[in-house]
Amino acid sequence: MKFAVLPAAGKSSRMGRPKLALPLGDRTILEHVIAALRQAKVEHILVVVGPHVAELAVLAESAGASVYSVAEPPAGMRGTIEHGLRWLEERFRPQPEDAWLLALADHPALDASIVQQLESAYAVHPQFSIVIPTYRGRRGHPTLFAWKHVAAIHAYPAELGLNTYIRRHVAETLEVPVDNASVLWDIDTPEDYEWLRQNWPCPSAGERPA
């Protein structure tokens, strides 16, 4: 089975408004990410939302994702992700070799072909259980994990993020070079949004500001 967790319980403090509901072309930012995952044939897509962004639940469900609404805002992205992983565990009982994607909901230029490249690399190189796309040597998103890491993530010190977890599992991590810079593109600020909006639907035609 293939799973994806989209943490969508952040407060968008740098944007100043709920960024995942912002329009980009004919869809919202969140809907673009879900559409790419569906195109990549991810079986179970879960969006985790907080009470302060309850409107995202309707967007996510209409786009074909499942939704888990937490009663209290989680303590950061790590907490949001773990809520989602527990929800999936309870409902689907994934096997250790099943794959799950950490897909950031503010990466609207996500390309289904990138997801498929990660899945192919995971299938061809079973000695690796974490797979990350890179563009010109820089790591991007989404990240693919074998489900066997979930128990260790739950036990990992709460104050540490998943980036630290990945760095401590370097021998199990495979980097997959891709020729698509969108793996690096997220939306955090009004300037990020405006650049992507102006270059949509072909952001590769522009040059993303640093």
Tens of pLDDT, residues 81-140: 999 999 999 999 999 999 999 999 999 999 999 999 999 999 999 999 999 999 999 999
Q: Per-residue pLDDT for 8 more than 80? A: yes
Q: What domains appear along the chain, each with residue ranges and CATH number? A: 2-198 (3.90.550.10)
Model pLDDT, residue 159: 86
Distance in angstroms between the alpha carbons of the first and the last residue of the chain: 37
Model pLDDT, residue 92: 96
pTM, entire model: 0.92
Between CA 20 and CA 30 the distance in angstroms is 5
159 or 144, greater pLDDT: 144
Are the C-beta atoms of 8 and 60 separated by less than 8 Å?
Answer: yes
Model pLDDT, residue 42: 97
Between CA 51 and CA 8 the distance in angstroms is 11
Look at residues 99, 107, 128 and name the one whose alpha carbon lies nearest to residue 41.
Answer: 99
